[in-house]
Amino acid sequence: MCGLLGFLTSDVAAPDTVERVYDALHCVRHRGPDERGTWHDDHVIFGFNRLSIIDIEHSHQPLRWGPAENRERYALTFNGEIYNYLELREELAAAHGAEFGDEPIFRTEGDSEAIAAAFHYWGPEAVRRLRGMFAFAIWDTETGELFLARDPFGIKPLFLATGPGGTAFGSEKKSLLELLPALGLGDELDPRALEHYTVLQYVPEPETLHADIRRLESGSYATVRPGAAPEVTRYFEPRFPVRPFTGDPQDRYREIAAALEDSVAKHMRADVTVGSFLSGGIDSTAIAALAMRHNPGLITFTTGFEREGYSEVDVAAESAAAIGARHIVKVVSPAEFAAAIPEIVWYLDDPVADPALVPLYFVAKEARKHVKVVLSGEGADELFGGYTIYREPLSLQPFERLPRGLRRLAGRLSERIPEGTRGKSLLHRGSLTLEERYYGNARSFSDAQLRSVLREFRPEWTHRDVTAPIYDRSRGWDPVTRMQHLDLFTWLRGDILVKADKMTMANSLELRVPFLDTEVLKAAEGLPYEQKISPDTTKYALRQALEGIVPPHVLHRAKLGFPVPLRHWLRGTELHDWARAQIADSQTDHLLDKAAVSRMLAEHREGRSDHSRRLWTLLVFMVWHGVFVEQRIKPEIQEPTYPVSL
C-alpha cells in the first residue's frame, strides 16, 4: 500500500519536469511515509512513497527487474498487495529459473518482482493471474511502452491526465493537479461530472470533477507510448451466470465458507501486525472471526457516536468478546466531526457525500496507533445480495405483470398524490423499468430539486449516462443480479472503496478487503436470486455459510453499518451553524443557487422536510470547492510520523 506518481513525456524529459514530479510526490506522502524513491530516464519519470508491509528491508521502489539477458529492462511502481505472490514466484521460478543460471530469478522476497516477471513472461494477460488489490505502472525500456493496470474491483485508485506534454498518472488526483501545466492542460471543472455527483453523491468512474483528469477504470489496463493517448482495455467483467445446483445446498454453503477462509488466510500475509475493523454486522464479524484463526492476538476496532440509535459499539464489543479479540473503540463527538471535514475533503480528492467516511477516518486514525494493516468487510453486500433495496423487485412484481400502458398510468396517478402520502412512491417506482428507477443506493436529488439548486441544470445529463452501458451488459439476467452488477461498477467503486482507501491511507494505514477476491466472487456469482434475498432476509447463502463462524447474535442481524446522526445535527447546534457558515462563505454562486440551499437548510431546521442528505451533498462540494478551487480553505495536513516497524 503506497503512493505512486509518474510522467511519460511526449519528447525527452526536461529537468524541470523531473523536478515537478519529484516535488508533487509530497502530496501523497501520507500513503507511504516509510521511504521515498525516484527514478527516470529520457522518457519516463517515476516517483514512489512506500508503506512497507512485505519484505520491509528490500523491495524498494521504483523497482528494476528483467530477464537474464537484461536484468534492468523493466521499471515498476506498484501500489497494493498481491496475495498470491508466493505461488506466482514459485511458478515463475520453476518455469524460468534455469534461464538465469546460478543467479536467482528474484532478488527480493516481495510481491513487486512477481508482477514484473509475470508481465515479462505472460504479457498483459498477467493481470488476470494477480489475486489482490493493485494499481501499477511498468515501463519497458526496450519497447518504449508504458503499461498501466488496476485491480478487478477498483480497490486501488489510478488517475490519468494526457495532454500535449505527455501522460501523467498517480494514486491521488491532487498530485496530478500540480502537473497539469507540464502537460499543457488547464484545471477547468467538468459540469457534467458535478451533476452526476449531486445525483449519485460520488463522481462516477472514469470521471473526476476536473475535466482533464480521468481515472483508469477498475478491471482495466492501458498501454501508452510517448506522444500518444492511452489505449484502454477491459480485462475483467464480473459475471453472474446462475449455476444449476441439484445437490445438497450445504455443499454450496461450504464452498462459500472455504473460499472466504482461503481469502482471509492470504490477506493475512504481511511482515507487520494485521488488525480488523469490526462493526455490528455480519460482514466485518466474519472477517475478524476468520482472521482470529491466523492471529489469536488480533485487535479489532470500531467507532460510533454518543447519540442513541447511532452506534454499534455495544454489539461490536459483544462480537469481539465472543471471538476472543482485543477490542478498541473510538467515539466521535460532533465537534471532532465538524473540525475534521476540511482535512477529510483534502484527502478525498473529489467529493464523496457519504457521511460514514468521517467516522471511518477516525477509527482508522485510532487503529494506526496499534497496527499497520486492517481487514474490513467491504464488498459482501454487492457479491451476496446484502442491500435491503435488492428486495424491491419482489415488492414490484405485480407491476411487472401489467401492460406497459397501465404502468405508465400508475406513474401519472402518483404525480397527483400529495408528497408524504403512503403508496405514492410505490406507484411511481412500479411504473418505471429497472433501468429507469435503479441507479444505486444513493438517491439525493430529483430533477425538480436539482433544477432549483444548480445554476446550469442539463436534463439530458442523467444517471443513464453512467448506468445504461452497464445495464446493456446484463440483459437477460434477473433483476436482483442486475442490481448487484450495477452496484459493482457504481456504488462500490465510486463510494465504498473510495472512502475505504482514502480514509485509511490518510492515516498511513493499509486496508484489505477479503470479500473482494476473485475466488470469493466465483463462489458467489452462480447463486440464484432466492439464495441472496427473500422477503425476510438478505445475503441468505452467506448467512448459511457463516453458521458456526459468526456469533449467533450477529448472524441474522439487520445491516446498519456506521450510521451518522446527520439529520439531527443539521437541525441542532452540532452542525447547523457550521452549515450556515459554509453556505455564506462559499464562492460557488456561479454553480449553485446559494439562496435555494439556504432555504433548504431553514426548512430542514424547522422540521418541514428532511433535506439532510441533499444538504450534506452540497456542503461537501462547497468545502471541496473551497479547498481545491478557491484555495480559501487550507487544511492543516500533518506530516506522517508513524514508526516503520509497526
pLDDT digits (tens, 9 = 90+) for 320-333: 999 999 999 999 99
Give the model's pLDDT for residue 239: 83
Asked if residue 532 belongs to a domain, the reply is: yes
SS3 135: strand
- Average pLDDT of the chain, as a whole number: 93
Question: Measured on CA atoms in the order 305, 310, 316, 317, is the torsion positive or negative?
Answer: positive
The answer on pLDDT for 132 being more than 90 is: yes
Domain extent, residue 398, equals 388-445+458-488
Would the pLDDT of 3 be above 90?
A: yes
Give percent above pLDDT 90 in the chain: 79
pLDDT band at 430 (very low <50, low <70, confident <90, very high): confident
User: How confident is the model over 306-330, as a mean pLDDT?
Assistant: 88
Percent of the chain surpassing pLDDT 70: 97
Q: Does residue 264 share a domain with residue 156?
A: no
21 shares a domain with 100: yes
Indicate which residue of 2, 82, 176, 299 is catalytic: 2
Q: How many Å apart are CA 482 and CA 393, to the nearest integer?
A: 11
Q: Are residue 149 and residue 168 in the same domain, yes or no?
A: yes
* Residue with cell string 440509535: 309
pLDDT, tens digit, 9 for 90 and up, residues 233-250: 999 998 887 766 677 889
What total number of domains does the chain contain? 3
**Judgement on whether residues 279 and 425 belong to the same structural domain of the protein:** no
Residue 298's pLDDT band, with cuts at 50, 70 and 90, is very high
2 catalytic? Reply is yes
Give the number of C-alpha atoms closer than 13 A to the C-alpha of residue 604, restricted to the C-beta side. Answer: 25
Q: Are residues 535 and 476 part of one domain?
A: no
What's the CA gap between 334 and 341, in Å, rounded?
A: 11
Q: What does pTM read for this prediction?
A: 0.95
Statement: residue 213 has pLDDT above 70: yes
Distance CA 289, CA 280 (A): 13
* CATH classification at residue 498: 3.40.50.620
Whether residue 570 lies inside any domain: the answer is no
Cis preceding-peptide flag for 62 (omega within 30 of 0): yes
Q: How far apart are CA 83 and CA 129, in angstroms?
A: 11
38-48 b/e with 16+ CB inside 10 Å = b?
bbbeebbbbbb
Mean pLDDT over 580-598 rounds to: 97
For residues 308 and 369, membership in a common domain is answered with yes
Which run of H or of E encompasses 299? strand 299-304
User: For the chain, how many residues are written?
Assistant: 646
Last residue of a domain, one of 516, 538, 555: 555
**DSSP for 552-588, written as a single string:** HHHHTPPP--S---HHHHHHSTTTHHHHHHHHHH---
Of 555, 577, 596, which closes a domain? 555
> Does pLDDT of 574 surpass 70?
yes
pLDDT at 11: 84
Residue 430, in any domain of the structure = yes
User: Which ranges of 84-204 would DSSP assign to H, the alpha helix?
Assistant: 85-96, 112-122, 173-177, 180-183, 191-200
Q: Judge contact between 205 and 154, C-beta under 8 A.
A: yes
**Helical H segments across 324-446, by residue range:** 334-348, 357-367, 380-384, 392-395, 397-400, 404-416, 424-430, 434-437
Written as nine digits, the cell of 636 is: 492543516
- Whether 432 and 551 map to the same domain: the answer is no
Query: Last residue of a domain, which of 532, 555, 578?
Result: 555
Q: Is residue 562 part of a domain?
A: no
Dump pLDDT digits (tens) for 369-405.
999 999 999 999 999 999 999 999 988 888 888 888 8
Contact 118, 159 (CB under 8 A): no
Residue 59 lies in a domain: yes
Report whether pLDDT(310) > 80.
Answer: no
Spell out the long-range contacts of 291-294 with Cβ–Cβ below 8 A and sequence spacing 24 or more: 291/264, 291/375, 292/323, 292/324, 292/325, 293/261, 293/264, 294/264, 294/265, 294/268
Residue 559: what pLDDT? 66
| Beta strands 145-150; 220-224: pairing state | antiparallel
Band the pLDDT of 96: cuts 50, 70, 90.
Answer: very high
- Residue entry with cell 496530478: 176
More confident residue, 559 or 266: 266
Model confidence at 150: pLDDT above 60: yes
What pLDDT digit, counting tens, does each position of 23-37 carry?
Answer: 999 999 999 999 999
* 190 and 222, same domain (yes or no): yes
- 128 shares its domain with 178: yes
Q: What is the CATH number of the domain that holds 126?
A: 3.60.20.10
For 272-294, write each residue's pLDDT tens digit: 999 999 998 999 999 999 999 99
pLDDT of residue 561: 60
pLDDT higher for 421 or 625? 625
- Asked if omega into 206 is within 30° of 0 (cis), the reply is yes
- Tell whether 626 is covered by a domain: no
Alpha carbons 450 and 192: distance in angstroms, whole number: 13
413 and 549 part of one domain: no
CA distance 501 to 600: 32
Residue 560 lies in a domain: no
- Residues 294 and 405 occupy one common structural domain: no
Question: Is 35 inside a domain boundary?
Answer: yes
Residue 315 reports pLDDT greater than 70: yes
pLDDT tens by residue, 435-446:
999 998 777 788
Please indicate, yes or no, whether residues 364 and 502 belong to a single structural domain of this protein. Answer: yes
Q: Report the pLDDT value the prediction gives residue 423, as an integer from 0 to 100.
A: 80
Give the residue-averaged pLDDT of 298-306.
93
Reply yes or no on whether the pLDDT at 646 is more than 80: no
